[in-house]
Structure 1
Amino acid sequence: MAGLRGPQTVLLWVMVIGLASCENKTTGENKTTAQTKPPPCSYNVTMVKFGAWIGMVTSPPGTYTINITENGEQVFIKKFIISSTNGTLTHIKHLKPCTEYQYEVTLKSDAEATITTCSRSTTQAKTKVLDEADIKISPPEPGSLCYESEWNLSSLGITPTKHRTKLLENGTKVCFKLAEEDFCSDFNVNVTHETCQNFFFTDTWNITDDYLNLRDINQTEPTGLPAYIDPQFPRNCKGLITAEYICSDADNVTRNLSSLEPFTDYSCTGWIKNSGVPINKTLPPVRIRIDCDLKINYEDDGEITNKSITLNWDTTSKNCQSVLSDLKELSYDCRCEGEEGRTNKRPDGGSCVISNLEAYTDYTCTVHPKYKNHHVHGEKTKKKTKEGIPDSISGLHLTLPENNKIKVSCKNNVKFKGPEKNYKARLHGGPKIQEKEKTQCDFEFKELSFLTTYKVEVFAHNGKFAGRSSTDSIKTSYDANALIGFLVFLIILTTVALLLVLYKIYILKRRKSHDMNESMELIRGENDEENLLTVEPIAAEILLETYKRKLADEGRLFLAEFQSIPRIFSRYPVKEAKKTCNAIKNRYVDILPYDENRVQLTTGSGEAGSDYINASFIDGYKEPKKYIAAQGPKEETVGDFWRMIWEQQSSIIVMVTRCEEGNRVKCAQYWPTPERETEILRSL
């Protein structure tokens, strides 16, 4: 600081010991006696730079109090205890220069309760004169300029040449708030003092970058690419103070502003330079994310067929246009309602072909820009594919509602793929081809030739293309009117012939009845057992030979044996099987178990029919009830079937039929399926 210089003051203390008279201080009225006792304590005051020294000349043990006032107002007070008679020095700092102070030292001894005012051996009381070098500039503080001194500066006049707000004045320090125009320029103040006469000087101090409050610097965030941040340094610092920004992304990859990518979060820090030289200071970090406002501009030259749509577009951006062609990671996804396309891409536009589309169909197509893995909102456009070939006709059906009338129908589920939706039917086989057209597949061809084969061809037409036709043939019937007369004649003729035959039979029977002997026996009715063929046991040695012989001629002998067995032997009752409660359990009404050898269930609920199942015991070779013959279970008897297996402890089940034969159910599936590994039946 210019003008604030001076040698450091070195104070050498010399103890002066003297005697002084004391004045006793009492709590009542002060009375002066003719004879006074010398005070028990005395001190002297020595003025030094920035304050004074108070030295105790005589100091009996006790508690001392130093009290300094200015014009009746207390400035300093201090208490201390002296336990020996040695002298004590007290340094009083931060007093005002050129100022008269009042000093008083009192003693309160340990032996007496009274307070004694110590005598003073010197009369000097005015502080030293202020020197320009006593006032200094404080170390730089952001946004403010401070003056400080070991003197009390409350009576010092520090006045900036331009009005500035005073931030602090605490006795030894005075601070002013710097204005925007003060930075990077000279700050001038005039300094005076109230009591130090003729004290005046002007100070000039250059406000450097050290005084900048970097947190107050406004940093405008960029909104486009290439990115640029313009920190708002004070106007006098423009061109002198600059900032170079270094940015890092989430992966701590660093970049400068000119190489930032869109759709990426960055933290950018400005490194301060003074005249191009780094000064190891930074601005607060700036959070940056630049989302390019990409706009898709569709062109009208894209080719459209009945199965594909070609989209051509250019990409523009208000905030990234100048770098758009350099964004190599910018790509595009295009689709038309679910169907994706093949893209020939470049950063500032492209084209794509979406295939596998339906003909003559409205599509909403979208091109989505994508930068790396970030998808950007796309632009939609309406497109329509061209006409295509209609679908083939399905479900063609021809009928004859009348003998010479053909009715044509088919399913109305054709996709016409064009502006018109018509069905056309052509009739071939007559003198000329007949053609009809309707919006529904429902046609009639009338007044056709009788007993004539016609071919009908039906196809869909959309106004431009015809679909593949579906054909079928049908033959008209006879002429009913002509046939009725012939049938009437034939019926009459047949009736006459039949009457003649019946009359002839009647005559023959009468003749035969007269020739018969009245004592002839009537033919005896046959019973079930008489029709049974006798089958002898087959020895093991000839089993194969016998099997081959009976199997010959398409199993004729086996068939004869089987057909000789009646379905039901009349002498064996089947009452249980025919009961109403059991009838539903039988698959056939004439294949029933006999009461005497039917299998009776023992674990039923006790209700009527709970012991019934369509199954019969069969004796084995010298073993009764060796086998069980049972009908294929019905859905409602599967539980009874397994109950019988469990009760009879059957170990082998032979199924001699399929579940279905000839489109008729023969047996319910009574075993679990692969999808259902466990089948749960009712409790046994």
Structure 2
Amino acid sequence: MWLDSTVAPPTAATTKTPPLCSYAVSTIKFGFKIDITSSTNGIYAININEEAHPETRVEYSVFHSNQTSSREIKQLKPCTQYEHAVEFIDSADNMTPCSYTGNEPSELTTQMELKDIEDGSCIPGYVCYRSDWNIGSSMSASNNVAVERCLTDSTQFCIKPAIDDICTNLTTTFTSGKCMVSTFKIIKSIPVDYLNANELQPEIPTELPVDTIQTRLPQNCSNLNIVYTCLDMDDNSDPKPLTELEPFTNYNCTGQIKENNVSIKNTTAIKFNIDCDLTTTITKTSVTSTSVTLSWTTTSQKCKDVLTKSPKLTFLCSCVPHHSTHKRSKPSSGGTCLINGLEPYTIYTCDVEPHYKNKDLDKRTSIKDVETDVGIPANISDPEVFPLGHNEIKVTCTHSKKFHGPGGYYFARLRYNGDIVRTQQNKSHCHFIFKDLSYSTTYILEVFAGNERFEGNLKHRPVNTEYNDKAVIGFLIFLIFLTSVALLLVVYKIFILKCRQSQ
């Protein structure tokens, strides 16, 4: 509700006399004028609605304080029949209809002429028309696009040309059956300036090489094309043309829209990364006791030779033993790599990881249960010898338990003058006891770890047994016995001699 309040309303007086209330209506440019005459001072409600659409009723309020009060009603729809009514509102909000005293009929029809419509300029890239008539409902375009009202100027209505309206003529029709001239048509040329580059929808490239970025342009414009250049967002390199783009690279591409090879505007930047469908297949493996050789092929449907023949595409080969995070790796630029320094007789999972410009592409290919060949067992420590008696020794050594093959065992032997005189084998630990050896003898001890195919590095050292202590003790006892017997004989002879002398 609109209220004129330039003069404050007086306090309503209590009266039973019906208020004087009359009005007249006259047509003016772009609408009607309501004149309230010879009426009681106070507030009046003016109601206007389309005759065919009563729900469109609009109410205005005006304060009447002198002989005549007027209110102009504009921005009505052209070529439309309107109904009108005026009511007096007393202090108790009671409403009294006013009588119509005008010469015009009680239902009036608005008119419009072509000169009432002017060119507007509300929304860039739109065709706009302005008028003090509300032309939105009677306005339509040949491209069937909906009419939009200008947000900053209610007198303007706009139509957005479609992409194929550019470089053509757009016809706007103003239609109503209530006007003397029922149809007006305005034809406007739509130059390429109406093209909104931000609304273009280029097709993001997904394959290499890139010849062009497909972008739908107005089909009625001749000699119109887009030239794109792209910037690597990771290293801020120099702009590149489309034909030099690389895979697995973050690009920010901007196009220049050109007409007859003259740049007219830039497109909105588009960002993309061509992730090639790289497929690596391990075709062959060969092993030794300490190495694995992998052979593979690499294919790509999206990037073809641009990727597979690029020197920036490298591979990292690696082998990880089961239940371990330790990785033995080897870089390679071709389809074969040798991974050495591995443990013999060990099961590995081996990977081939493609990298582009030293970045992992997260496209790993694995092969499991690759077992290296049987090898020489790991070295044992220098053996330690402990004497258990004069002709008995204990031999021990330490070992990593890495036999590098099936049937692991420990072996010890004694040599004398080059000949093997004693041997022992132990499968659980490096521990041996040699008994009943020769006394006071120097042997050569040899110890090694072995498996079913190989013997490990030999550890050897001299071993000395001690003298025969039992023989020495027996000889001493015998010597003591002989000595005792001899002494007894001497004592006996002395005793006999004394006995003879005494007789």
TM range (shorter): 0.5 to 0.7
Structure 2 length-normalised TM: 0.61
Go from structure 1 to structure 2 and tell me whether the alpha carbon gap of 1:433 and 1:274 turns closer, same or farther (over 3 Å shift): same
Go from structure 1 to structure 2 and tell me whether the alpha carbon gap of 1:236 and 1:421 turns closer, same or farther (over 3 Å shift): farther
Matched, 1:467 2:454: no
* Partner Cα distance (2:483, 2:192) in 1: 136
Following TM superposition, by how much is the alpha carbon of 1:151 offset from its aligned partner in structure 2, in angstroms? Answer: 3.4
Structure-to-structure mapping, 1:198-209, within 5 angstroms: 198-200=181-183
In structure 2, stretches of 5+ residues that fail to align are 1-14, 35-41, 65-69, 86-100, 321-325, 494-503
The residue that corresponds to 2:177 in the other structure is 194
Following TM superposition, by how much is the alpha carbon of 1:413 offset from its aligned partner in structure 2, in angstroms? Answer: 0.7
* Partner Cα distance (1:69, 1:444) in 2: 124
Go from structure 1 to structure 2 and tell me whether the alpha carbon gap of 1:498 and 1:391 turns closer, same or farther (over 3 Å shift): farther
Based on CA coordinates, which of the two structures has the bigger radius of gyration? Answer: 1
Assess if the C-alpha contact under 8 Å between 1:333 and 1:369 holds in 2.
yes
Following TM superposition, by how much is the alpha carbon of 1:279 offset from its aligned partner in structure 2, in angstroms? Answer: 3.0
Q: What fraction of aligned residue pairs are identical, expressed as a percent?
A: 34
The residue that corresponds to 1:457 in the other structure is 446
Matched, 1:388 2:373: no
The residue that corresponds to 2:359 in the other structure is 374
The 3-state SS of whatever aligns with 2:480 is helix
Assess if the C-alpha contact under 8 Å between 2:328 and 2:342 holds in 1.
no
Structure-to-structure mapping, 1:78-157, within 5 angstroms: 94=75, 130-132=112-114, 134-135=116-117, 138-139=120-121, 141=123, 147-153=129-135, 156=138
Following TM superposition, by how much is the alpha carbon of 1:416 offset from its aligned partner in structure 2, in angstroms? Answer: 3.6
The amino acid that maps onto 1:491 is I
Matched, 1:429 2:416: yes
The amino acid that maps onto 1:474 is N
* Partner Cα distance (1:207, 1:140) in 2: 16
Q: Deviations 1:207-249 (Å, cap 9, x if unpaired)?
A: 6665666555545544554467544668888996657354452
Following TM superposition, by how much is the alpha carbon of 1:324 offset from its aligned partner in structure 2, in angstroms? Answer: 1.8
The residue that corresponds to 1:659 in the other structure is none
* Partner Cα distance (2:83, 2:435) in 1: 143
Matched, 1:411 2:411: no
Following TM superposition, by how much is the alpha carbon of 1:76 offset from its aligned partner in structure 2, in angstroms? Answer: 11
The amino acid that maps onto 1:324 is L
The amino acid that maps onto 2:135 is L
In structure 1, stretches of 5+ residues that fail to align are 1-25, 32-42, 55-62, 82-88, 105-118, 505-684
Q: Deviations 1:597-629 (Å, cap 9, x if unpaired)?
A: xxxxxxxxxxxxxxxxxxxxxxxxxxxxxxxxx
Following TM superposition, by how much is the alpha carbon of 1:478 offset from its aligned partner in structure 2, in angstroms? Answer: 3.8
Following TM superposition, by how much is the alpha carbon of 1:394 offset from its aligned partner in structure 2, in angstroms? Answer: 1.6
Number of equivalent positions: 454
* Partner Cα distance (1:194, 1:502) in 2: 175
Matched, 1:288 2:272: yes
The residue that corresponds to 1:323 in the other structure is 306
The 3-state SS of whatever aligns with 1:300 is strand
Higher relative strand content: 2
Go from structure 1 to structure 2 and tell me whether the alpha carbon gap of 1:53 and 1:438 turns closer, same or farther (over 3 Å shift): same
Q: Deviations 1:502-544 (Å, cap 9, x if unpaired)?
A: 999xxxxxxxxxxxxxxxxxxxxxxxxxxxxxxxxxxxxxxxx
* Partner Cα distance (1:501, 1:230) in 2: 136
The residue that corresponds to 1:268 in the other structure is 253
The residue that corresponds to 1:300 in the other structure is 284
The 3-state SS of whatever aligns with 2:239 is strand
The residue that corresponds to 1:667 in the other structure is none
Assess if the C-alpha contact under 8 Å between 1:51 and 1:94 holds in 2.
yes
Matched, 1:397 2:379: no
* Partner Cα distance (1:498, 1:138) in 2: 156
Higher relative helix content: 1
Following TM superposition, by how much is the alpha carbon of 1:153 offset from its aligned partner in structure 2, in angstroms? Answer: 2.8
The 3-state SS of whatever aligns with 2:307 is helix
Structure-to-structure mapping, 1:464-613, within 5 angstroms: 464-475=454-465, 478=468, 480=470, 486-496=475-485
Assess if the C-alpha contact under 8 Å between 1:423 and 1:460 holds in 2.
yes
The 3-state SS of whatever aligns with 1:388 is coil
Go from structure 1 to structure 2 and tell me whether the alpha carbon gap of 1:176 and 1:444 turns closer, same or farther (over 3 Å shift): same
The amino acid that maps onto 1:153 is I
* Partner Cα distance (1:499, 1:139) in 2: 155
* Partner Cα distance (1:359, 1:446) in 2: 36
Structure 1 length-normalised TM: 0.47
* Partner Cα distance (2:261, 2:491) in 1: 140
* Partner Cα distance (1:429, 1:281) in 2: 97
Go from structure 1 to structure 2 and tell me whether the alpha carbon gap of 1:262 and 1:218 turns closer, same or farther (over 3 Å shift): same
Go from structure 1 to structure 2 and tell me whether the alpha carbon gap of 1:295 and 1:265 turns closer, same or farther (over 3 Å shift): same
Following TM superposition, by how much is the alpha carbon of 1:455 offset from its aligned partner in structure 2, in angstroms? Answer: 3.1
The amino acid that maps onto 1:468 is L
* Partner Cα distance (2:80, 2:431) in 1: 126
Assess if the C-alpha contact under 8 Å between 1:314 and 1:350 holds in 2.
yes
The 3-state SS of whatever aligns with 1:433 is strand
Assess if the C-alpha contact under 8 Å between 1:51 and 1:127 holds in 2.
no
* Partner Cα distance (1:470, 1:331) in 2: 49
* Partner Cα distance (1:503, 1:191) in 2: 170
Structure-to-structure mapping, 1:214-233, within 5 angstroms: 217-223=200-206, 225-226=208-209, 229-231=213-215
